[in-house]
Amino acid sequence: MLNKKFTLAGRPIGRPISDDDFDYKEEELRNINDRELLLENMVIEFQPAQKGWMENISNYVAPLEIGDVMRCSGIARVLDSKSKKFKKGDIVSGQTCWQTHPIMNEDDIELIEDTDMPTAYLGALGGTGLTAYFGVTKISKPNPGDTVIVTGAAGGVGSLAGQIFKIAGCNVYGIAGGKEKCEMLINDFGFDGAIDYKSENLNESLGKFCPNGADIVYDNVGGRILNDCLLHLALNARIAICGIISRHKTDNMNFGPENYSNLIFKRATMQGFLMLDYVSETVVARKKMKKWIEDGKLICKEDLREGFENAPDTLKGLFDGKNKGKQLLKIAD
């Protein structure tokens, strides 16, 4: 049997990702050893951080070297097992990477027991959902009635963060690109308002939605959008810095933020965070998120593409705003 894979061939530093940044390879599968499993990768997930791993200029995760299989999480079916913990047919999650048939150690995967919602373990119950949950509960610390701005609101993290703020009783306004995404924020996710940053004057619209300023800005984007948000803060505002997706197409680091002086006048706090800081609290967070999903309070929108050969293109699409909700790619049934 063959394992098909994409390995890292180039580092997209200061430029968008190109097809030449990946090598496609096929290899004969080796036999598995004790405590190893042969998996069939079924669905893999995409997130902007993958470009950062390709660049290898931050050191918060193990380096991704040229020639390594491109890293991502996935859910997979066990085809063969020399582990006492897993049996053939089990559905598991882990860092299965951009390959069709990973061989993994039993310590590096997790059994998915809720086989009725397996892909949720890549979205709301995976790193994306946990980022939203911890960014809201640990950094933003919402109070009922707070006015909240979420940037990158129609993506995986933003759409979940906005809904968690709603559960906390906040008034939530999302910023996203395009009319369709803005309608989705209001109609599907229950946001109180949405701003299309591509066609509206962001400053004016923020002023309209937040006449007394925002108590919380949950920022996935950085750059000029964050800069505008900083002009619309309430006293003692909290700004949770989750991501800086706007930097990925530029040839320099992020613009600004010039308006950071408003932090002084509004006695505001701007704090970055990593979901990884809170992994010890994953079980409790997942339990809560799962209950919200079951109660219909949290919708995990998935944007499912198909075909292993589309992995590079699917990753590139995140930076063109092609995804609505969590971007996934189906590789096998």
Ligand X SMILES: NC(=O)c1ccc[n+]([C@@H]2O[C@H](COP(=O)([O-])OP(=O)(O)OC[C@H]3O[C@@H](n4cnc5c(N)ncnc54)[C@H](OP(=O)(O)O)[C@@H]3O)[C@@H](O)[C@H]2O)c1
Q: Minimal distance in Å, beta carbon 46 to ligand X? A: 7
Q: Is 321 in the site for ligand X (CB under 6 A)?
A: yes
Residue 319 within binding range of ligand X, rule CB under 6 A: yes
Contact stretch for ligand X (CB under 6 A) within 6-14, 113-121, 126-134, 206-214: 126-134
Instruction: Kindly tell me which of 196 and 215 has the beta carbon lying closer to ligand X.
Output: 196
Q: Is 76 in the site for ligand X (CB under 6 A)?
A: no
**Does 74 sit near ligand X (CB under 6 A)?**
no
Residue from 274, 299, 305, 313 touching ligand X (CB under 6 A): that is 274
Q: Residue 298 Cβ, how far from ligand X at the closest point, in Å?
A: 15
Q: Which of residues 15-44 bind ligand X (CB under 6 A)?
A: none
3-state secondary structure the chain: CEEEEEEECCCCCCCCCCHHHEEEEEEECCCCCCCEEEEEEEEEECCCHHHHHHHCCCCCCCCCCCCCECCCCEEEEEEEECCCCCCCCCEEEECCCCECCCEEEHHHEEECCCCCCHHHHHCCCCHHHHHHHHHHHHHHCCCCCCEEEEECCCEHHHHHHHHHHHHCCCEEEEEECCHHHHHHHHHCCCCCEEEECCCCCHHHHHHHHCCCCEEEEEECCCHHHHHHHCCCEEEEEEEEECCCHHHHHCCCCCCCCHHHHHHHHCCCEEEECCHHHHHHHHHHHHHHHHHHHHCCCCCCCEEEEECHHHHHHHHHHHCCCCCCEEEEEECCC
* Segment 222 to 241, residues that bind ligand X, using CB under 6 A: 225
Rounded least distance, CB 38 to ligand X, Å: 29
CB nearer to ligand X: give 115 or 199. 199
Nearest approach in angstroms of CB 54 to ligand X is: 13
* Beta carbon of residue 276, minimum distance to ligand X (angstroms, whole number): 6
- List binders of ligand X among 139-168 (CB under 6 A): 152, 154-158
Q: How far is the CB of 17 from ligand X (least distance, A)?
A: 12
Instruction: Label residue 82 exposed, middle or buried (CB < 10 Å: 0-12, 13-18, 19+).
Output: middle
Tokens linked to 123:
């979205």
- Residues of span 168-197 touching ligand X by CB under 6 A: 176-178, 181
Q: How far is the CB of 63 from ligand X (least distance, A)?
A: 17
Q: Is 129 an interacting residue with respect to ligand X (CB under 6 A)?
A: no
Q: Which of 136, 150, 242, 315 binds ligand X (CB under 6 A)?
A: 242
Q: Say if CB 157 and CB 134 are below 8 A apart.
A: no
Q: Which of 39, 214, 245, 329 binds ligand X (CB under 6 A)?
A: 245
What is the spatial distance between Cα 61 and Cα 127, in angstroms, rounded to a whole number?
14
The nearer residue to ligand X, 73 or 100, going by C-beta atoms, is 73
Q: Which residue is nearest to ligand X (CB)?
A: 243
Residues forming the site for ligand X (CB under 6 A): 47-49, 127-128, 131, 152, 154-158, 176-178, 181, 220-221, 225, 242-246, 273-275, 318-319, 321, 323, 327
